[in-house]
A and B are shown apart, each in its own frame.
Chain A
Amino acid sequence: MTAHTFTHLDALESESIHIMREVAAECKNPALLFSGGKDSIVMLRLAEKAFRPAKFPFPLVHIDTEHNFPEVIATRDKLAADLGERLIVRSLEDSIKRGTIVIKDPDKPRNPYQSVTLLETIAEFGFDACMGGARRDEEKARAKERIFSFRDEFGQWDPKNQRPELWDLYNTRVHAGENIRVFPISNWTEMDIWEYIAREKLYIPEIYYAHKREVIRRGNSVIPVSHLVQPKPGEQVEVLSVRFRTVGDMTCTAPVESTARNAQEIIEETSTTRITERGATRMDDQTSEASMELRKKEGYF
């Protein structure tokens, strides 16, 4: 190995490992947010690279909306068990029972409510740092967020008042009750994620690959039929070959038409696609130009 064979993936990987080790060393009680989606599966591999042969010095945490695809939840449980790492799951249903979340329409997307359960979970375990698999190429607000993103007592992000982040000297200090969100794969793009999945031969939920699925068309989107989404009168159910580029809330995550059956074929599709990842698949981001910024200010990760 010489400087010439140190590829962009090697550089990104080394940066992410470095970040995770800084979190482990400097934060008192960190956690790694793990959903079973592709980005968090990459995070899991990076954590293995950072800490093996030891166990992870933090638990895995999932905030379950109970609107997730069953294949993703199954993958979440399988990977956590295979690695022998501790998985903490907290559900929006718990917050609903407590009355801290009041749902107006049970079939509507639940992403806006995730912040509530996340903040409750942070308080329950006293986490001072939560690592998440968000990337800066996903969304405009994320592009302006630091790798170590400071949150106040209310979990709020203040974009105009961020700590300067220089070199790779990360400021991890917080007062009691405050916490930081850490994004070790900030500098990765969707393409980097797929190239890494291919290189590392990572197991990801089958629904990321092309499969036949019942869908309905609403506006510009193709929506998967599920127990949460049923055709309205006049809507046609079609069976298409699709794959998911992201796997979020089932009511607002749209698949794309595709025939790519493995990571390599997805890389080829990704290199020619003309639509962004969230633009193609996240209906909740399209409500306003600032939807993500507003959610982050409320404590969303």
Chain B
Amino acid sequence: MSRLLGVIDAATSVKGLQDLSLNRSVASIPFAGRYRFIDFILSNMVNSGVESVAIFPRHQYRSLMDHIGSGKNWDLDRKRDGLFFFPPYFEPNENSNVGSFDRLEQHLDFFERSHQDYILIANSYTIASIDLNEALAEHLIQDNDITEITTSSRSLEMYILKKSLLIELIQNRKNSQFISISDVATQPLHHYKIGGYEHHGYAAVMDSIDAYFKHSMDLLDHSIWSQLFSTDRPVFTKVKDEPPTRYSAESVVTNSMVANGGIIHGRVDSSIVSRAVKIGNHSVVKNCIVMQKSQIGENCHLEYVILDKDVRIQDGVTLKGTSDKPLVLRKGAVREMAVSK
């Protein structure tokens, strides 16, 4: 039985991702063709044997709840332990980073009741495949109060600490003036022993559109792809019953990642194509991220564009962003060809 209780703070807002999080929480931003950000940390927890996971969302958690459901897809629909969803009774005033004490305090009884003696608290938007047991072992060996998981000394916003310490920090927060776990981990002046666990594999923190675009394109590198999607540490997600993707006689698809249910007629190069996407005849899609159910008509030309879900590009439209500044089309957007006189 795992000693770790998993806590996902899905409430931290990420300003840089606003275009993609207007109608959804950051945790449920689509990524890698068929996943949502939160799938990666959830799968890390499940693959590390964590049996109890608490998710703390902020407002606009409908898309997140719809995605997570009973937790069945992560094997977390359990009689004992399993998945817990803790919407706030009220939104804490300060906009803190990971592990807001005001937020956790609202469900303090859950922590007191849980039988696990260690807690892993993480953000929802770090993409990596990490064995959390190794991190816990390191925490115990170093005899830290708080262990921060890092990669190349950069914080992945994941922390391990004793449950009793978390409860103590929450209860003393008025005296200590610490507002969150990450606050404690970064402040120098206290007697807690803060240590690090270095994750040597691939890791990406999705804190801006730039990072989102860059790390999406990272997936086209096979060594990164195989690190994130190894067969013994699968990434679980909500399954959709889409058929295999259909390629027509005209399709030319290279250096791309394509999810199921697609119907591809045109040219696709160096792009990420999600589930149930349609790409019409003689269209070119290059260096793009196309999310679920978006439709691209015929004779279109798209470069460096991020298409959110359900975007429709009518026949003949040309749209170009740049590698530094990809164009983002919001969910449900429709683009028609400019009528020239």
Interaction A to B: no
Enumerate chain A interface residues (CB-CB to B < 8 A). none
